[in-house]
Amino acid sequence: MELPMEKWTILSRKKIMQRAVFSVSDMECEHASLGISHTFSIIDAPDWINVVAQTENGELILVRQHRLGTDEITWETPAGMIEKGEDPRCAAERELSEETGYTAKEIVLMSVLRANPAIMTNRIHFFLAKGCTEIQKQNLDREEDISVELRSVRQVQDMIHSGQIDHSIIVTALSLFLLSEKQQSVTEGL
Amino acid sequence: MELPMEKWTILSRKKIMQRAVFSVSDMECEHASLGISHTFSIIDAPDWINVVAQTENGELILVRQHRLGTDEITWETPAGMIEKGEDPRCAAERELSEETGYTAKEIVLMSVLRANPAIMTNRIHFFLAKGCTEIQKQNLDREEDISVELRSVRQVQDMIHSGQIDHSIIVTALSLFLLSEKQQSVTEGL
């Protein structure tokens, strides 16, 4: 039997900074049975989408860009923020098209996860875009400089193993895809 | 052939807030070929460790706690911050012991990933702790209230599928474990 756990009571919440892609708030909380109060600082961000996109030939569409958090050029799957009021699937189609110029025949939701419940409020919607074809040019934001690269599923697995793909959210997206592929091949093998 | 991508030049970096588990800095940057400048806000945090821990019977050791980012009771693998100067493996042993009371016969590094290169500076060290036995009581921080639960590998897979485990970093840790297990069973089957 699973016992209910006790939650902290949130007494107050105050935004202490706001930037374009996230804000930070302090929350004063108290815990009745621990008999203490504590301030938790949390990061508010809009929900994000992440797209594992596969061409009609089965290759995966990767993007490269300079990321300032780590000051490195990363290998990633197309991704971005959901705009206010935007449907997650539309955001996935939009980001795929803007960052790569590709459009999918079909987009399916793989999973919706919490980015990091300890300190972040938002969710990540992971999509699989199938049968993608390049039908237009990239349409990048002013500050974006993104190159597009195609790699086989096998190459992408090797890039994860070697550490060339080392962005945890991207590894999550690709793992969801690889685990579902393995599941499928097990099922088909029966 | 892979063309080198151009990086932003970081002109200045200014810390704008500091809390216990992260700080935020603004970085003024310029991009020569885009011909623009832009301010990127990034989150500095110490490296984290995450431990997929398995008992001698093969069950996985999960922890439950109230997380303030999402205001939900989560299902997680043991995890935490690496202390200043601490070896990542020691941090993994320490967090496993403090949060669960278990000690591993062997701890192996599965992967080191970047938490989120777009906005975060830090890395996550993912460990697999094998042959764990409960040899002491939990030793929690003042503000921690954590319950320990054992689940079979199959149950954990179901909990990911059903969305009961929905913390993206935890799904990453468990996917790394599940993919290596699948790889092993494929190899052993040859």
CB B52 within 8 A of CB B67: no
Can you give the pLDDT at residue A190? 44
Instruction: Compute the average pLDDT of residues B40-66.
Output: 97
Can you give the pLDDT at residue B142? 83
Per-position DSSP letters for B4-57, written without gaps between them: PPPPPEEEEEEEEEE-SS-EEEEEEEEETTTTEEEEEEEEE---EEEEEEEETT
Mean pLDDT over all residues of chain B? Answer: 93
Q: Choosing among A124, A168, A175, A183, which should be mutated to test the B contact, i.e. which has the most B CBs within 10 A?
A: A168
Can you give the pLDDT at residue A3? 59
Among residues of chain B, what percentage have pLDDT more than 70? 94
Beta bridge partners of A25: A15, A42
pLDDT at A179 > cutoff 90 = no
Instruction: Compute the average pLDDT of residues A29-45.
Output: 94
Can you give the pLDDT at residue A118? 96
CB B51 within 8 A of CB B96: yes
Instruction: Compute the average pLDDT of residues A123-135.
Output: 97
Q: Which pTM does this prediction carry?
A: 0.94
**Cβ separation A112–B166 shorter than 8 A:** yes
Neighbouring C-alpha atoms within 13 Å toward the C-beta of B159: 21
Can you give the pLDDT at residue B190? 45
pLDDT at B156 > cutoff 50 = yes
Among residues of chain A, what percentage have pLDDT more than 70? 94
The CA distance from A112 to B171, in Å, is 11
**Cβ separation A147–B5 shorter than 8 A:** yes
Q: Read off the pLDDT of residues A53-66 as tens digits, 9 standing for 90 and up.
A: 999 999 999 999 99
Q: Which of A130, A56, A142, A128 is nearest to A98 (CA)?
A: A142
The length of chain B, given as a count of residues: 190
Can you give the pLDDT at residue B40? 96
Q: Read off the pLDDT of residues A157-177 as tens digits, 9 standing for 90 and up.
A: 999 999 999 999 999 999 999
Among A8, A24, A143, beta carbon nearest to B17: A24
Among B67, B112, B117, beta carbon nearest to A117: B67
Q: Nearest C-alpha of chain B: how many angstroms from A132?
A: 22
**Cβ separation B121–A21 shorter than 8 A:** no
